[in-house]
Amino acid sequence: MKIARRLFALGLCVVVLAGCAPQDKLCTEIGFTNTVIVNVVGDAPVDGLTWCVAGECSAETTFEARPLGDGAWVVETPMSTPPVITVAALDASGAVTATEDVSVEWVGTDEPNGPGCDNVSEAEPVTVTLP
């Protein structure tokens, strides 16, 4: 009986200590934002630019791009790397004047959330030709 208790206590210690083993990864930050520069070329003035993922556009899934000047816009994709974005040019009244699907190739740059966690990614600038 004494041996059985000792074996039980030893087994219990092993189980408890196994729970204290190092984890595979520890992600230190929550969230990240990926960016791509969209260069807009065309004759019509572009007063605003929005984007959505692969033509799946709705009020909830459409995001604004930030202007950099000279037809360049920054598109930020929070915690995602969509392979295709749909870019929509807006006129001064906010009406959509043209749309185009753009393929984006993402490259991971670092691991802001710790080793083994998701990479922040960037992409080479893409050009969109709008009428």
Q: What is the CATH number of the domain that holds 73?
A: 2.60.40
Please report whether residue 44 resides in a domain: yes
59 within 8 A of 94, measured Cβ to Cβ: no
Q: Is residue 98 part of a domain?
A: yes
Helices (H), the chain: 2-18
Average pLDDT per run of 10 along the chain, which is 131 residues long?
50 46 61 87 89 85 92 89 92 91 85 72 88 76
Question: Pairing mode, if any, of strands 84-90 and 120-123?
Answer: unpaired
Give CA–CA dist 130/57, Å, rounded. 18
Q: Is residue 21 part of a domain?
A: no
Instruction: Flag whether 10 is in a domain.
Output: no
Residue 13: predicted pLDDT: 46
pLDDT of 79 reads: 79
Number of domains in the chain: 1
Beta bridge partners of 106: 123
pLDDT at 25: 59
Kindly state whether residue 94 falls inside one of the protein's structural domains: yes
List the 96-103 sheet strands across, edge first. Answer: 63-64, 48-53, 84-90, 96-103
* Residues 89, 128: Cα–Cα separation, whole Å: 10
Residue 27 inside a domain? The answer is: no
Range of the domain at 111: 33-129
In this prediction, residue 24 carries a pLDDT of 58
76 vs 21: CA distance, rounded Å: 38
Quote the CA–CA distance of 118 and 17 in Å, as a whole number.
29
Residue 16 lies in a domain: no
Residue 39, in any domain of the structure? yes
The model's pTM: 0.69
- Here the tokens at position 73 are 């816009």
